[in-house]
Chains A and B, each alone.
Chain A
């Protein structure tokens, strides 16, 4: 078989084309996997509804959390959507470790596929899973009287915010997978990170009532910016959407770069 050993070096556009086409190819596979077995999507819908029905209704009655002009359920619903995206994505590194153990990751990495495309497709898959709770949570929220918007443009923007943040948290998880190497270790680290990320955000309560040290953590936590964006878009709370989206896009890009850089460690 003849081989073009003297193939000229690729132009600057070639890496961009490789990244785009490979991300699309791997993204299609992720969608095919979800269509083939959607059990995970369905089970992911249950927990957020429980948060809204149980936690939300109880804390509404206590009236202990100051939420300004919003009812507590209005305040909480975007927080629960954000929490769902976090919980789906933060253990996503387990998928990549499983694929390493199954030989799939190795096989994909031996194709002309940029590592950034591999993690971006996984981030996309995490984003899709992060959107799943919306399907059930919104009707339940409407039934409970939450003043949630039905404006499709706002929902498209909210979906983008959810996908960006799920993408970031899944990349964070994959980056940790590159260091932790095993599922057991990643599970432990994931458990260790989930609750601090969740509680050091404004998902359940406003930043202003937190102790100062927690306020500092909350302001560097991307989950806070997701919650802000969702509240601004879905329940008309005051929000600085440019800042929120800027942080989410920046975090997602940083996550992709970091997890792509550490991906190679998994197959050594």
Chain B
């Protein structure tokens, strides 16, 4: 049996006296689209930062495809594609140069590089504008360019941190269409965080709800909805598990999250 894409056991991470992630046990099967949901400050970003090796686990173990993130960080990174919440392209470079940059960082073999870059740009419908400066792209195009950067090494695990924040509905749909396409083609695992419940409901095979650093519920969107009632939405599930006292919890990491979301949304116009 193959190793799960992600396996966290007893993960704890603190910032000073604040417990951001509190004894988290999480398992993401290879090939699934997994949504990590929760209010700002719930511990989603910290969890993602631990499993993408930016933060060392303070307690517990985290394995990505069986590789310990603490001991095999570089090997873990070879399997990751990551799109952060911010618009993280180099505006002064062309679209092609932006993707080339990550092809080199991921050791895409020189002989295959040009083809793989064209494939990634083509998959994101950016080939026609590949030689234009990325600073001239629209918000949706920038997100698609970031996906091309993340997908150029054909990652086994694609981590998307609020990838559609600030995008208009058409651009959102376009981003998700491409993610679905790439997943179908390469069978990769997708881990995403989002505040759009409809998006999570439609896209995710499994969703996990986090609140105050703890996992409140994990199941398929349909099963979670069914627990509440026949007409329940994922938003109702969210409210049930994280709703009470939400406004009081928006401290620390929450403030940074909100500021980052707003900045990204403002840049996307």
State the A residues within 8 Å of B (CB).
1-3, 5-7, 10, 18, 21-22, 24-26, 28-29, 32-33, 36-37, 101-104, 106-113, 264, 267-268
Q: Give the complex CA separation of A39 and B125 in angstroms.
A: 32
Name the residue in B77, B84, B106, B188 with the highest tally of chain A Cβ atoms < 10 Å from its Cβ.
Answer: B84
- DSSP class of B's interface residues: helix, strand, loop or mixed? loop
Closest to B80 in A: A110
| Residues in B whose Cβ lies below 8 Å from that of A107 | 82-84, 88, 149
Contact A1 B31 (CB under 8 A): yes
Q: Give the complex CA separation of A112 and B52 in angstroms.
A: 11
A1-B154, A112-B74 in contact; A103/B86 too (CB < 8 A)? yes
Instruction: Tell me, rounded to whole Å, the shortest Cβ–Cβ distance linking A1 to chain B.
Output: 5
Q: How many residues of B contact A (CB 8 A)?
A: 45
Contact B92 A104 (CB under 8 A): no
Closest to A6 in B: B66
A1-B31, A21-B104, A29-B101 in contact; A102/B88 too (CB < 8 A)? yes
B224 within 8 A of A: no
| Residues in B whose Cβ lies below 8 Å from that of A264 | 54
Chain A to chain B contacts (Cβ below 8 Å), 11 pairs: A2-B2, A3-B2, A5-B67, A29-B93, A102-B87, A103-B86, A107-B84, A107-B149, A109-B54, A111-B77, A113-B105
Contact A103 B105 (CB under 8 A): no
Contact A110 B54 (CB under 8 A): yes
Contact A104 B88 (CB under 8 A): yes
B97 within 8 A of A: yes
Contact B74 A36 (CB under 8 A): no
Closest to B79 in A: A3
Contact B105 A22 (CB under 8 A): yes
Closest to B67 in A: A5
Question: Which are the 10 A-B pairs with shortest beta-carbon distances?
Answer: A103-B86, A103-B88, A25-B104, A103-B84, A5-B66, A36-B92, A111-B105, A3-B65, A110-B82, A112-B77
Contact B90 A10 (CB under 8 A): no
Q: A5-B67, A28-B101, A110-B80 are in contact. List 9 more A-B contacts (CB 8 A).
A: A1-B154, A3-B65, A3-B156, A6-B66, A7-B75, A28-B104, A32-B97, A33-B90, A33-B93
Contact B93 A268 (CB under 8 A): no
Q: Give the complex CA separation of A67 and B131 in angstroms.
A: 54
Cross-chain contact of B77 among A3, A7, A110 (Cβ < 8 A): A110
Q: Give the complex CA separation of A114 and B66 in angstroms.
A: 22
